[in-house]
Amino acid sequence: MSKPSDKLQQARSGDGETLAYNVTGNPSALLRFALTHSLALDHDFWAPVVAQLSAALGQEAAILTWDCRGHGQSSKPRQAYTVEQFAGDLADLLDHLKWPDAILAGASMGGCISLAFAGLYPQRTKGLGLFDTTAWYGADAPKQWAERADKALSDGLTALVGFQKIRWFGDDFRDNHADVVDQCLDVFLRNDLEAYAASCRMLGAADLRAHLPKIRVPTRVLVGAEDLATPVAMAQVLHQGIAGSTLTIVPDARHLSPLEVPDVIVGELRALADANLVQG
């Protein structure tokens, strides 16, 4: 995971906020990936996936990872957030890079953002990877996410550490990869409380179901069989709602599959790349 001293490149959003990002590979490659992280983490969430994907594709691909607003080294404006706003930030980043389009993938919150982008900018979406995510958290989501936001504001992020560890990773992974767990917690605890709370409320309000029947690009849906945050049933809604999509259920994985099974995620991204080659 990244350290506060790691320096990223910067771009500006349409409303003047700083967006921190990194591009791995050949920035002018025609095969472009844009990967968006989960809630309360940052661009380095994708490090294991980027390492494997870059090794496999080399200079044939460019891989964008970035810190969403309210996260990492990006701006943390004191305002309400929306998933559509974050999707607009990603569009601004692609403009900054002069990328007309990309294969999008996101995990959890990042999947919601990627889905919103696909709905708002269909011509810029070449493929879609929806990992450990959902189009809608349900009727009780605004209340549940507001409670999490309020707990963070009142008790601090340390009060949520136990909850997060169990939600993020399966029991065996936590036992055998304590370094990964600790790195995630380090990033989590560095979050700005107000920005974290705004991001929680954003997810509680998000409802992207109307986009599902309009998506016409290759789409790979993946979820851990033990996912407590976005269970298999939510992934099935995505799969059933997006024509031609695939659904992969990973045994023994929980909520952060890009960290638990990066090789499987790389396989999904390479399948999206292959589908684009066939279409192209």
pLDDT tens, position by position, 119-166: 999 999 999 999 999 999 999 999 999 999 999 999 999 999 999 999
pLDDT tens, position by position, 88-130: 999 999 999 999 999 999 999 999 999 999 999 999 999 999 9
- Distance from C-alpha of 18 to C-alpha of 14, rounded to nearest angstrom: 10
Count the Cβ atoms, other than its own, within 10 Å of residue 100: 12
Residue 4 banded pLDDT, cuts 50, 70, 90: very low
Q: Is the pLDDT of residue 3 over 90?
A: no
* Domain annotation covers residue 248: yes
pLDDT tens, position by position, 168-216: 999 999 999 999 999 999 999 999 999 999 999 999 999 999 999 999 9
Residue of 176, 137, 132 whose CA lies nearest to 38: 132
The 3-class SS string of the chain reads CCCCCCCCEEEECCCCCEEEEEEEECCCCCEEEEEECCCCCCHHHHHHHHHHHHHHHHHHEEEEEECCCCCCCCCCCCCCCCHHHHHHHHHHHHHHHCCCCEEEEEECHHHHHHHHHHHHCHHHEEEEEEECCCCECCCCHHHHHHHHHHHHHHHCHHHHHHHHHHHHCCHHHHHHCHHHHHHHHHHHHCCCHHHHHHHHHHHHHCECHHHHHHCCCCEEEEEECCCCCCCHHHHHHHHHHCCCCEEEEECCCCCCHHHHCHHHHHHHHHHHHHHHHHHC
- Give the pLDDT of residue 2: 43
Mean pLDDT of the region 1-23: 84
* Domain annotation covers residue 4: no
CATH number of residue 153's parent domain: 3.40.50.1820
* Domain annotation covers residue 2: no
**Mean pLDDT (the chain, rounded):** 96
* Domain annotation covers residue 17: yes
Share of the chain above pLDDT 90, in %: 96
- Give the pLDDT of residue 7: 81
Domain membership of residue 190 as a residue range: 9-279
pTM: 0.97
* Domain annotation covers residue 3: no
Partners of residue 247 on adjacent β-strands: 221
Q: Is the pLDDT of residue 277 over 90?
A: no
- Give the pLDDT of residue 80: 97
Count the Cβ atoms, other than its own, within 10 Å of residue 133: 29
Mean pLDDT of the region 20-40: 97
**Considering its fold, how many domains does the chain have in total?**
1
Cβ neighbours for 257, distance < 8 A, ≥ 6 positions apart: 107, 131, 132, 222, 223, 224, 250, 264, 265
State how far the alpha carbon of 122 is from the alpha carbons of 108, 187, 262, in Å.
20, 32, 27
- Give the pLDDT of residue 276: 79
